[in-house]
Amino acid sequence: MADFLRKLDSRILEKLKKDNLFNTYLLRDIQKGVVFPSIRNNYLDFYYAGRLLFSYDRDGFKTHIKYASVLDVGKRSSPYVRQDEIKSLKPIDDFHSGYERIKENCKNYAGIEGEGVSYLYSYSFVQSCPIVVLDIEVAFSGDESSEKRTDRIDLLLFNKEEATLRFIEAKHYSNQEISGEEPKVLKQMNRYMNTLKKKEKKILEQYERCINLLNELFNLELPEQINLDKQSVALYVFGFDNDQNLGGVKEMKKIMKKNSISLYTLGGYRKIDSKALWIRTS
């Protein structure tokens, strides 16, 4: 796991602190709980609605061309244009003036699982709640036993009172990986647990450094000496109705219990609560 790093060069950190896009727009949305920032290896990712809104490195901000390829339509009562109105449209000049339009475009590409996870942004590490989300889309490079694939765990919860980390894999109920008598998610969860067990020291070292950086960037006081919970990774399944809860979800719970997989299920995922997620996966 030599490439699993959570660091920021001091020059990048200081440059970001002074950046107008960060201070005027992103910081506001981070504090509101709609944008989530993640520190990587000398860059940051900023997520919105489950999609990567911006990245920031030594060269500044960048976004995907499909989000930035939007037009400034001005004040209009309708999103539709007629042929004779096309000449009046103009491309967005910069990230500042086009920020809300870029966010809108980003949300249009949101997948159902990413959107579900995004409801936990309101419990990000900048909030005062006891259980916060410390990181998302956590990628680990696999070893030979995992066919050199990249594992990507959806969420990292942080219990501030216990200074403890727990990873969460999130699945929408429509995901076929959780269906059947031997769902594919079982192998995925076991692979995650093996990786976390083998690399625990490295993971804790990197997240202690990450927390130090977050404290500096956002003026926080998160505990910097941490440990990995005995339930290192758990499963969160969401987005099902009452009939599905009485049928497929009930069977899925039996399978997960049989395989010692800690599971939390929630049909109405918009009502997700970080504390409930922690307690129910303990």
Write out pLDDT tens, residues 207-255: 999 999 999 999 999 999 999 999 999 999 999 999 999 889 999 999 9
What does the pLDDT average to over 54-69?
93
Report whether pLDDT(119) > 60. Answer: yes
Nearest to 88 by CA among 104, 76, 102, 100: 76
Backbone phi, psi, residue 186, to 5°: -60, -45
The pLDDT score that the predictor gives to residue 215 is 98
Q: What is the pLDDT of residues 142-198, one digit of tens each?
A: 443 344 456 789 999 999 999 999 999 999 999 999 999 999 999 999 999 999 999
What pairs with residue 114 in β-bridges?
Answer: none
What does the pLDDT average to over 192-207?
94
Contacts of 14 (CB under 8 A, 6+ apart): none
The pLDDT score that the predictor gives to residue 83 is 83
CB distance 214 to 222 below 8 Å: yes
The pLDDT score that the predictor gives to residue 84 is 77
Element (H, E) at 217: helix 200-218
- Residues 55 and 127: their CA atoms lie apart, in Å, by 22
Q: At what angle do helices 185-198 and 200-218 cross, to 10 degrees?
A: 80
pTM: 0.90
Mean pLDDT of the chain: 91
Read off the tokens for 187.
């192998």
